[in-house]
Structure 1
C-alpha cells in the first residue's frame, strides 16, 4: 500500500475512534435571559460532558427584545466563547433574535424605514375602480399573538407608500395573442389610502369583454422584516446584527467561533381580500426588480406580472419561469451574496438554511403547504447553496424526509458533500405545534439521526438545549420557554445518556465521510417547472414518490440540476456529474427546462446506452427555445407517480456494481453504501423496525470484511468469505468495510449479533420488585409489567429506582435483558453500576455472579412529558409510558 494511502487509512481510523466536533451533534443554546458567567460555565461544561461538539447561541422570544445585542448580552456572549474554547467546544454565530434572519431583532429597520419589506399586491376586475384591502399574514397568524408581536411593532400589520407598479387591460376569457394585453399603467392612480388599504381608479374605457388587473406595491411601516431584494438591507443587517458580535469576539474567530448560521430568511407571506390567480402570496418588490426581469425576459414588466397570476397564452410558462428565475437570482445575490462577501472578509464560514417547503416530507412542497415558495428564497436551492461555504438544511420531527438528501445533492453540485441538519420537534398530540415533544425518547432521536446520516447528513443540530425549563401552570407557547418547540433536551431525564447517542452517531458520520455514495440514479431537480407551474403541480409529488420508492428498494440516488447535467461527462452509458456516477436519469413530471442544452445532454446520454425514466406530465418547453420541444427518447415512462412495481422493473435494468445486499424479510433496513478510491466499500445497515432482519452480502470475487463498531469505536477484521450473513436486531446498526478478497475465502461468514446465550435457562424476574420515585424517596411495591404512570405516579418525570433481591443458584456469567423500558436505564448490581442503555436492545452484562443473594437495581429515566404537560391542554388523553413495562429476564451465557 502506498504510504499516503496508509496515512489516510490511519487518519480515517483515528477519526472514527474519536470523532471531531464536525461529526458530533451540535445544538442551539436557547438564551431566555442573559446568563451569568456561572450559568455559562455550568451549562457549557454539561453540554460538553454529554457529547455536544458545537454550540450556537440563540436568543429566544422569552428574552426581552431590548436585551438582545445589548452590552451585557455581548459580554455574556464573549464569556461563553472563552469558556467554550477552554472546554474544546466549537461555537457558531446564530445570526438573529428568535429566527428569520436579517432583521437583527428589529435593529436593521430601526431608523431605516426604507429597508422594511415592500410587497406587491394585485386586484383584477371589470370595474375602473378597485381596492387592495384585508392584507394579513396567515402563516404567522396561525402561530399566535406573540409571534405577531415579535414580527410587527405594536402587533399591527400596517402599510404606506402605496404605488401603482403596473396595470393592464386584457380579455376576461382566453388571451390568444400578446397584443390583446394593453399596458395602461400610466392611466391608473391611487385615489385614497390609509395604513391597511388603498383604492385606485383607472382613467380610461374598459370594454365588455375586458378586465383590468392592477399591481400595487406598499411598504410596511410596522414589519421588522427586511426587503431581501435590497443589498443595502443585508449590509445594514451585518452592520447592526453581526458586526457587534464579531467585535465582541475579537481574538476568538475563527477558533472556536468558526461559522455564521442564518435561519429561514423570508419576508411575510401575505394574502388579501382581492388575491386571485396562480400565485399564492404577495411578491417582494424593489425598483431593481424591473431591470433584472428585463434582462431575462422579452416582454414588458406589466405583461410579465400578468403572466404570474393568469394564463396569458402559449408563452405563459416561459414568461413565469424567467420572471421567477430573475426574482430568485436578485434575492439570492442581494442577501446571500452580501453575507458571503462579509463572511469571507471576516474569515468566517457562511452556512444556514432557507425555508424548506418540503420539511418533514419527501414531496417538494409537502411541508409548508400554506405558502407559495416562489415568493421567498425557497425554490432555487442549488443557486442559494452556491453562496454558502457549508450546506445546512432544516428537518421537522422524526421520520425520514427529503431535506438531507437535497442538502447533500446541492452540496455536491457546488463541490462539497453532505450537510448539517437542524432538527426541531413540533407537537403531534396538540394543534399548538410549539408545545413540542417532551415525550421524545433518545431511542427515537437516535433512529432519526442514523436515518439522516444515511440520507446525507454530516452533523446533527438539536433545536435545542435550554437555559431554563420555564414556568409551571402556564401553557403559553413561545414566551414560556417550556413550550418553545420542546424538548430542551438537557431538561429531559434521559439527558445523562446523551453521550451514548453522540458518540455512536458521530462515529457513523465519520465512517461515512471518506467514501462517495453509490448512486445509480440521478433525479433532475425540476427548477424551471417549479417556477412555471407552481407548488401544487405534480412535479412536487412525483419527485417525492421517486425518492421514497427508490429508498424503499435499497437504491440510493442524488438530485442534480440542469447545470450538473450540462457539465457532466458521458461515457459508456454512464453519466459522471457532481463527482458521482449515474446509470439513469429521472424526470419527475418535468414540463419546463431552463435550456435546450439540457435536452441535448439527455439525448447524448441515451444514445450511449444510458437510461432516462420519467413520470407524470411530459417535457414540452425549454425557456431559451422559441418553439415547443419534443421530450427526449425515454427508456420508460409512467403516467402516475411511480409505485413499487415500477421501481422494481426499472432497477432490474441497472447494471450492478459493488456489494449485493439481499434482505430476508419484507422490511428493508436503512442502508448507505459508498466506495473509497482504494477498492474498499463502506456499508451502513440500520434496522429501525421491531423484528430482526436477515441480511446477506456478497461481492462477485468474494470479500474480506472489517466491522467498525460505532458503539465503542473498535475495528475488527472478521475474515474473508464468499458471502457474509447476519441478523440485524431491532435498532441495531452495523458499519462494515469490505473489499474483494485477494486470497482464498470461506464459503460463508457470520456476524453474531450477540454472545451465545442459553435462553432455555432464562429466569423471568416478574416478582419482588419495589420502586422509589427519585433518589431519597420511599420504596413501595410495584409491578414491572406496566409503567409507573399506571401505579400512582402519573405525573412523575425523572429517574425511578426499581429494586429486587436476586437469588442466584448457579454460578455463571449472566446478562440482564429488558424486553421493554421507557426509556433509559442504568443497571446496578450490589451497588455498583454495570452498564447503561437508552435504546433497544436493553441488554446488560452483569458478569460472573456467585451463588447467593444480590441486590439488583435498575435506575430508569422516562421523558419529561408527564411533568411538563401536567395541568396544560397538551398532555393528551393519557400520560406517557414510564419505567419498566415487561418483566426483566436473567439469561446465562453459554460459555
Structure 2
C-alpha cells in the first residue's frame, strides 16, 4: 500500500473507532425559558453522556419573545457555552427565535418599518376597476393563533403603502406579440385602501376582448418577517440578532462555537381572492427587482411580470424562467450573501437550510403543497449552497426522502460532500401536526439515521432535546412545550439508550466518509423547468419515480446542475462531474434549460458512448435563445412515469465497477476510497431475515468494521461472501479484489449457534412494577402492560422472574418483541442493553439451579403525554414485553 494510502487508512480507522463531533448526532436544545446554571450543567452533561456532539440553542415559542436576546438571556447563553466547552461539546449559533431566520424575534423591523416584507399582488379584470382583497398567509394561518401572534404584531395581518408597480392591457386570449401588451401603469391609481385591501381604477376604457392586469405592492404593517430582497434587512438582522450573541460568547467564537445555522428564511406565502395564473403565492418586491429583471430578461418589468402569471406567447417559458432566476439571485445575494460575509468575518461557517418543499417526499412538490417555492429561497438549491460553507437540509418523520440526496448532491457540486440533516416529527394520528410523535422509538430513529447516512447524511440533527417536558392537561400546540413538534428525546423513557445509537450512527457515518459513492446515474436537477413550469409540473413526479426506482434496484445516483454538466469532462464513456463518474444522465420531464451548452455537452456525452435517459416531456426552450433540435442526444425516452420494468431494463445496459449484490436486496451504500478499497454499508430495515451474496472479481479480501463496538476484523480472500442480516442489523464491510488463492465461500452472520432443542420458554411466573418502589404484581408477557392496568404509564417498567436451569451452560436470552428498549440483569448483575432488534442478550455462564432475572423495559412517552388529550389516537401504544422470552443455551464448541 502506498504511504499516503496507508496514512489515510490509519486516520480512517482512528476516526471510525472514535468519531468526532462532526459525525455524532447533534441537537437543537429547546429553551422554553431562560435556564439557570444548574439546569445548564445538568442537561449539557446529560447530552454529552448520551453521545450528542453538537448543541444549537434554540429559543422556542414558550419563551416570552421579549426575553429573547435580553441581558439575562445572553448571560445564560454564555454560561451554557462555557459549560459545553468544559464538557467537550461543540456549539452552533441557531440564529433566531422559534424559526424563520431574519426577524431576530421581531427586533430587525422594530423602528425600521421599511424592512418589513413587501409583496406584489395582482388582479385581472375586463373592467377598468378592480380590487385586491382577503390576503392571507396560506402556509402559517393553519398553524393557529399563537403562530400568527408570533409572526404579526398584535396577531393582526395588516397592509399599508399600496403602490401600483405596473399595469398592462392585453388581449384576453392568446398574445401573439409583445406589442399587444400595452403598459398603462401611469393611468392606473389606487382609489381606496385599508389595512386589508385596496381598490384601483384605470382612467381609460378596457375594450371588448381585452383584459387589464394590475400589479400592486403593499408593505406589511405588522409582519415581523423581513424583506429578503433587501441586503440592508439582512445587515440589520445581523446587527440586532447575531452580533449580540457573538459578543456575549466572546472568545468561545470560533471554538467551540464554530457555526451559525439559519432555518427556513422565507416570506409569508400569501394568497388572495383575485389571485390567478401560474404563480401560487405573492412575490416579494423591492425596487432593485425591476433592474434585475430587465437585465436578465431583456424585456420590460411589465412584460416579464405578465409572463410570470399568464401565457404571453412562445417566449412565455423563457421569460418566466429568467424572471424567477433574477428574483432568486437577488434574494440569495441579499440575504445569504450578507450572512456569509459576517460569518467569515467571525471565522465561523455559515450553514442551515432553506424551505424544502420536498420535505418528507421524493417529489420536489410533495411536502409543503400549499406553497409555491419560487417566491422563497426554495428552488435554487445549488445556488444557495454555493453561498453557505456547509450543507444542511430538513427531513420530516421517518421515511426515506429527497432531502439528504439533494443535500449531498449540492455539496459535491460545490466542492464538498454530504450534509447535516435536521429531522423533526409531525403528528400522523392527529391533524394537529405540532403534536408531534412522542411514540417514536429509538429503533425507528436508528433505522432512519442509517438510511439517511446511505442517502448522503454526515450528521443527524435532532429536533430536539427539551429543557422541559411541558404541562399536563394542556393540549395547546407550540406554547405548551410538550406539543412543540415532539418528541423532546431526552424525555423519552428510551433516552438512557441513546448513547448506543449515537456511537453506532457516528461510526457508520465515519466509515462512509473515507470513500466516494458509486453513483452511476446523474439526474439533472431541472432548475429552469421548475422556474418556468412551477411546482405542479410533471418534472416533480418524474423525479420522484426515478429516485424511488433507482434505489429500489440498488442503484445510487446524484443530482447535477446544468453548470455541473457544462463543466464536466468526458472520459471512457463517462461524464465526470461533481467529483464523480456517471455512466448515464436522466432528464426527468425537462422542458426548459438555461443554456444550449448543456445540450452540446449531453450530445458529446452520447457520441462518446454515454447514455441519456429521459421521461415525460422533452426540452422545448433554451433560455439563451437557441433553437432546440428535435433530439437532445437522448438514447432512451419514455413518455410515461418510469416504472420498475423500465428502469431495470436501462440499468441492465450498465456495467458497474466494484462489488455486486445478488439475492435479497438490503439498504445499501457502496463507495471507493482513495486507498483502493471498496466500502459497503448494508442494512436490513425489515421485519424478516434477509440473505444475499457479495461478489467482486475472481476473489477478494474483506474486513468487518463493527459499528457497534468500533472493532475491525480482517478475513482471507473469498470468491463469494454470503451475508445474513437479522432485522435491523447493519454491517460495514471493506473489501478489495485479490490475486491470492481464495476460499470458495465466506459466510457472515451474527446469529450465535444455539441449542434450540433445549430452549426454555419463560412464559409464566413474571411479576411487574412501574418502578422499584412500588409493589410487584403478576403480569403476562404475551401482552403489553398497557392492557394490564397501566394504560398511561410511560417509563421503565420492571419485570422479574425466578427460573431454574438443570445444567450449567452459557445461556442467551431472546426477547421476540420489546416495546421499546431493555436492560437485562441476571442475579443482580447487568447482562446487557438493547434499543432495537435483535433483542438477544448473553447472560453468561449460569450454574445449575435457581436464578433471578430482571428486565428493565422502557417504552415511549406517548401513553403518558398524550393521555387525556385529543392526540392519543385509537388507544394506548404497546408497551413492555408482548411475547414469551426464550432462554437458550449456546452450542458448545469442540475443544
Please, what TM-score do these two structures have when normalized by structure 2?
Answer: 0.99
Question: In 2, distance between residues paired with 1:339 and 1:189?
Answer: 38
Question: Is residue 776 of structure 2 the alignment partner of residue 797 of structure 1?
Answer: no
Residue 38 in structure 1 maps to residue 35 in structure 2: no
Q: Kindly state the Cα deviation for residue 718 of structure 1 after the two structures are TM-superposed.
A: 2.2
| Pick aligned residue for 2:809 from 802, 808, 812 | 812
1:740 partnered with 2:737:
yes
CA distance in 1, matches of 2:530, 2:27: 33
Q: Distance in 2 between matches of 1:115 and 1:396?
A: 31
Once residues 772 and 636 of structure 2 are traced to their aligned partners in structure 1, the CA distance between those partners, rounded to angstroms, is 65
What is the match of residue 334 of structure 2?
Answer: 334
- Counterpart of 2:478 in structure 1 is 478
Match in the other structure for 2:688: 691
Assess if the C-alpha contact under 8 Å between 1:32 and 1:467 holds in 2. Answer: yes
Match of 1:374 in 2: 374
Q: What is the CA deviation profile of residues 761-810 of structure 1, one whole-angstrom value per residue up to 9, with x for unaligned ones?
A: 21111101000012211100000000000001000000000000010111
> Is contact 1:831–1:855 with CA below 8 Å preserved after alignment?
yes
2:638 and 2:759 map into 1 onto residues whose CA distance is 54
Residues 127-136 or 755-764, more deviating: 755-764
> How far apart, in 2, do the equivalents of 1:126 and 1:647 lie?
50
Deviations 1:808-850 (A, max 9, x none): 1111101000000000000000111110001000000001110
21 and 133 in structure 1: CA distance in 2 versus 1, 3 angstrom threshold: same
Are residue 561 (structure 1) and residue 561 (structure 2) matched? yes
Distance in 1, matches of 2:200 and 2:17, equals: 69
Contact 1:708–1:737 (Cα < 8 Å) also in 2: yes
Work out which of the residue numbers 764, 769, 793 in structure 2 matches 1:767: 764
Q: Is the 8 A contact 1:724 1:749 kept in 2?
A: yes
| Alpha-carbon distance between aligned partners in 2 of 1:566 and 1:175, rounded to the nearest angstrom | 34
CA deviation profile, 1:599-653 (whole Å, cap 9, x unmatched): 0000000000000000000111110024344331221111111100011100000
Per-residue Cα deviation, 1:85-140 (whole angstroms, up to 9, x for no partner): 10000000000000000000000000000000000000001110111110010211
Structure 2 residue 722 is the aligned partner of structure 1 residue 725: yes
Q: State whether residues 6 and 675 of structure 2, in contact with CA within 8 Å, keep that contact through their aligned partners in structure 1.
A: no
Find the counterpart in structure 2 of residue 846 from structure 1.
843
Q: What is the match of residue 14 of structure 1?
A: 14
Match of 1:829 among 818, 826, 830: 826
In the alignment, does 2:670 pair up with 1:673? yes
Partner of 2:755: 758
Which SS does the other structure have where 1:192 is aligned? strand
How far is 1:582 from its partner? 0.2
Q: Give secondary structure in 1 for the equivalent of 2:143.
A: coil
Listed as ranges, the gaps of 5+ residues in structure 2 are none
Q: Is the 8 A contact 1:726 1:753 kept in 2?
A: no
Aligned residue in 2 for 1:708: 705
Per-residue deviation, residues 674-701 of structure 1 (Å, max 9, x unmatched) = 0012220000000000111111001113
What displacement does 1:571 show? 1.3
Secondary structure of the corresponding residue to residue 844 of structure 1: strand
Measure, in 1, the Cα distance between the counterparts of 2:278 and 2:625.
24
The 2-side partners of 1:571 and 1:197 are apart by 60
- Aligned-residue offset at 1:753: 2.1
Are the counterparts in 2 of residues 621 and 629 from structure 1 also a CA contact under 8 Å? no
Question: Which of 834, 854, 857 is the equivalent residue of 1:857?
Answer: 854
Question: Does the aligned pair in 2 maintain the 1:336–1:384 contact within 8 Å?
Answer: yes
The aligned residue for residue 659 of structure 1 is: 659
* Alignment correspondent of 1:427: 427
Deviation track 1:139-168 (CA, whole Å, cap 9, x = no partner) reads 111100000000000000001110000100
Question: 1:473 offset after TM fit, Å?
Answer: 0.1
Matched, 1:287 2:287: yes
1:572-721 superposed matches below 5 A: 572-663=572-663, 665=664, 668-721=665-718
**Whole-angstrom CA distance in 1 between matches of 2:756 and 2:676:** 41
Question: Is the deviation greater in 464-473 or in 191-200?
Answer: 191-200
Q: Does the Cα contact within 8 Å between 2:442 and 2:820 map onto a contact in 1? A: yes
Q: 1:206-232 CA deviation, whole Å, 9 max, x = no partner? A: 110000000000000100000000000
Partner Cα separation in structure 2 for residue 20 and residue 572 of structure 1: 38
User: 2:512 aligns to what?
Assistant: 512
Check whether the contact 1:826–1:860 (CA below 8 A) recurs between aligned residues: yes
CA distance in 1, matches of 2:561, 2:772: 58
Aligned to 2:218, the other structure's residue is in SS state strand
Instruction: Indicate conservation of the 8 Å contact 1:408/1:418, yes or no.
Output: yes
Once the 2 structures are TM-superposed, how far is the Cα of residue 755 of structure 1 from its aligned partner? 2.0
Alpha-carbon distance, 1:5 to partner: 2.1
Match of 1:784 in 2: 781
Q: 1:104-503 residue pairs with structure 2 within 5 A?
A: 104-503=104-503
Deviation digits for residues 40-60 of structure 1 (CA, Å, limit 9, x no counterpart): 000000000001000000000
Residues 524-561 of structure 1 deviation map (CA, whole Å, 9 limit, x = unaligned): 00000000000000001101110010000000000000
With normalisation by structure 1, the TM-score equals 0.99
| Separation in 2, partners of 1:591, 1:47 | 49
Query: Do the aligned partners of 2:514 and 2:674 also contact (CA within 8 Å) in 1?
Result: no
Whether the 8 Å CA contact 2:24–2:51 is kept in 1: the answer is: yes
Render the CA deviation track for 1:372-413: whole Å, top value 9, x for unaligned.
000000000000000110000000000100000000000000
- TM superposition shift of 1:572: 2.2
SS in 1 for 2:387: coil
Q: For 2:347 and 2:631, locate their aligned partners in 1 and report how far apart those are by CA, in whole Å.
A: 47
Query: Contact 2:5/2:674 (CA < 8 Å) preserved in 1?
Result: no
CA contact (8 A) 1:671 1:686 kept: yes
Conserved? CA contact 1:620–1:631, under 8 Å: no
> How many angstroms does 1:266 deviate by?
0.1
Deviation at 1:176, TM superposition (A): 1.6
**Equivalent position SS for 2:400:** coil
What SS is found at the alignment partner of 1:472? coil
SS at structure 2 position matched to 1:437: coil
Task: State the alpha-carbon separation in 2 of the partners of residues 590 and 758 from structure 1.
Answer: 60
Distance 2:708 2:774 in 1: 34
Distance 2:628 2:764 in 1: 78
Distance in 1 between residues matched to 2:141 and 2:828, nearest whole Å: 55
For 1:656, what is the secondary structure of its paired residue? coil
Q: Which segments of 5 or more consecutive residues in structure 1 lack a partner in the other structure?
A: none
SS at match of 1:804: strand
Kept in 1, the 8 Å contact 2:798–2:855? The answer is yes
DSSP 3-state at the match of 1:262: strand
Q: Distance in 2 between matches of 1:891 and 1:722?
A: 34
Quick check: 172-181 or 481-490, which moved more?
Answer: 172-181
**Alpha-carbon distance between aligned partners in 2 of 1:457 and 1:788, rounded to the nearest angstrom:** 37
The SS at the match of 1:760 is helix
d(CA) in 2 for partners of 1:482, 1:124: 46
Give the whole-Å Cα distance in 1 for the aligned partners of 2:798 and 2:411. Answer: 48
1:877: Cα distance to partner? 1.2
**Tell me, what secondary structure is at the counterpart of 1:461?**
strand
Counterpart CA distance in 2 for 1:630 and 1:230 is 42
Q: Answer yes or no: is the 8 Å Cα contact 1:165–1:215 preserved in 2.
A: yes
The total of aligned residue pairs comes to 892
For the residues of structure 2 that align with 1:631 and 1:116, how far apart are their CA atoms?
Answer: 48
Give the whole-Å Cα distance in 2 for the aligned partners of 1:43 and 1:154: 35
Q: Which moved more, 1:290-299 or 1:108-117?
A: 290-299
